[in-house]
Structure 1
Amino acid sequence: MCGRFAITLPNDAMAQLFQAQPANDLPVVPNFNVCPTNPVHVITASDGARRLQAMRWGFLPHWYKTPTDGPLLINARSETIAEKPAFRSAARERRCLVVATGFFEWTKTEEGARLPWYITRADEAPIAFAGVWQIWGKEDARQTTCAIVTTPANQHMAQIHHRMPLILDPKDWPLWLGEAGKGAALLMKPGPEGRLSYHRVDPAVNSNRASGPQLIEPIEP
């Protein structure tokens, strides 16, 4: 799964990297502890143009009467995304990229203590999570919301968690965004071994109120 991440890339650098027009209301960066329901940086494509915009992390199906009317949908499983009523339309028509620098995952000790790990691309490049999005609500209550697609973990990531976010290479961005025709379903599989690197970080990040660059600094296991 993906339940927390960090973004340190400046907004103008994100816009340049993804060749996208930036919106005026982008979230503040850096943010070393992006949590569910926070606004996140998202790339969408329509009419031959890409846009960098803010979306609420936490997908709201159209039948929710309030944002808390059902489970908080921060992730969408690749194996069922095409059939689940909440996601199937978005999987066909509203795919996006969620931009990150790295993400967090947790293991547990025998005593039940949660040990956080910070995961990045091994080549230190920015991360593009595959995502889906949905506009929810009416008039003043309208929100644009998103979820991150996850897959079963590859062997390397399985040492920490049995699932992982779907991370796309630049060559695959056009296909996922619908710019290169159909076939995005072919991308929904665990990434290759060796793509990611991880290290232990301070348990301070266990709190969703924690902030600061020290949250991603390595500590001794």
Structure 2
Amino acid sequence: MCGRFTLTVTWEELMTRYLIDPESVSPFHIPRYNIAPTQMVTAVIHDGSTNRIGQLQWGLVPSWAKDSSAGAKMINARSETLEDKPAFRIPFYRKRCLIPADGFYEWQKNGTSKQPFRIGLISGEIFSMAGLYDTWITPSGEKISTCTIITTEPNALMAPIHNRMPVILRPADEALWLERQTSSGSHQSSSSHLQSLKELLKPYPVEDMQAVPVSTIVNSVKHDTEDCIRSITSNN
């Protein structure tokens, strides 16, 4: 699964990475070192004409849910079963998003303890996790905007640490993931487009990634400082 991640870049770096006009939106991002479920996360969507950046609550709440607590159980969506789950099927067809990050955390079991690792690109650059979102209005008029991160099987780097990892999209594939192509009169994307999307849901190339052991202070969501990402290896 993917239960914590980081986005430590500046607002300016974020806007440049996703080619968004900084005057089109009021700044809301600050560097984050321990982003957790149910919190607001940065997301990029396509409105049919251009990319837009904003915030969604992490944990998908489908429109038919009895209350918003359902989101805490839907922080991740398994890539293999997106079309089998009612909560994820229509978002997969029509409401896909990018979740920017520059690292994610996972815990490796070591006897009776667990060692946290921060995993990211060797380059340290921002990457996009494949996400789904949904937005709807409650009978009382409240707007609910939530998201989930798609996971897949681990690559060789992740396998010794955890049995799942987030789907990380190559920059060249981000536009395809956001594309709002749908079949006429149907909620589903055309079969060829849908197949192209499914082909993106695979482990990221291991040669471009690294895993760095970090302090257990990241275990608590109360900690959101640079100490969370600092390597604990002896040569640092």
Q: Distance in 1 between matches of 2:27 and 2:17?
A: 19
Q: State the match for 2:55 in structure 1.
A: 54
For residue 191 of structure 1, what is the aligned residue in structure 2?
A: 204
Give, in whole Å, the separation in 1 of the partners of 2:75 and 2:40: 12
Deviations 1:136-161 (A, max 9, x none): 44254212100001000012210111
Say if 1:66 and 1:77 are closer, same or farther in 2 by CA, change over 3 A.
Answer: same
The percentage of aligned residue pairs carrying the same residue is: 34
Shift of 1:70: 6.8
Aligned to 2:65: 64
TM-score, normalised relative to structure 2: 0.87
- Which range moves more in the overlay, 135-144 or 97-106? 135-144
Instruction: Give the 3-state SS of the residue equivalent to 1:68 in structure 2.
Output: helix
Which residue identity lines up with residue 229 of structure 2 in the other structure?
I
In the TM superposition, residue 13 of structure 1 has moved relative to its aligned partner by: 2.0
Aligned to 2:123: 123
Shift of 1:179: 6.1
Any gaps of 5 or more consecutive residues in structure 2? 182-191
Query: 1:169 is matched with which residue?
Result: 170
| Other-structure match for 1:212 | 225
Which residue type is aligned with residue 25 of structure 2? A
Deviation digits for residues 116-153 of structure 1 (CA, Å, limit 9, x no counterpart): 10111112211100000001442542121000010000
Cα deviation, 1:168-195, whole Å, max 9, x if unaligned, reads 1110001111168922111011112212
Distance 2:215 2:205 in 1: 28
184-193 vs 158-167, which moves further: 184-193
Q: 1:123 to 1:110 in 2, by over 3 A?
A: same
**Matching residue of 2:4:** 4
Task: Letter of the 2:34 partner, please give it.
Answer: N
Structure 1 partner of 2:107: 106
Which residue is 1:148 aligned to?
149
Contact 1:20 1:43 in 2 (8 A): no
Paired residues, number: 219
Q: Distance in 2 between matches of 1:114 and 1:174?
A: 37
Q: Which residue of 1 aligns with 2:186?
A: none
Letter of the 2:6 counterpart: A
Flag the structure with larger Rg.
2
Whether the aligned pair in 1 keeps the contact of 2:38 and 2:72 (CA below 8 Å) is no
Shift of 1:11: 2.0
Q: Tell me by how many angstroms 1:82 deviates.
A: 1.8
Q: Would you say the 8 A contact 1:136–1:145 is kept in 2?
A: no
* CA displacement, residues 83-106 of structure 1 (integer Å, 9 cap, x when unaligned): 210100000100000011111000
Preserved contact between residue 5 and residue 104 of structure 1 (Cα < 8 Å) = yes
Return the alpha-carbon distance in structure 1 between the equivalents of residues 215 and 20 of structure 2: 35
Q: Aligned partners of 2:116 and 2:77: how far apart in 1?
A: 22
Asked if the contact 1:99–1:126 (Cα under 8 Å) also holds between the matched residues in 2, the reply is yes
Letter in 1 for 2:121: R
Q: Is the CA contact (8 Å cut-off) linking 1:60 and 1:136 kept in structure 2?
A: no
* Rounded Cα–Cα distance in structure 2 between residues aligned with 1:176 and 1:70: 23
**Separation of aligned partners in 1, 2:89 and 2:171:** 24
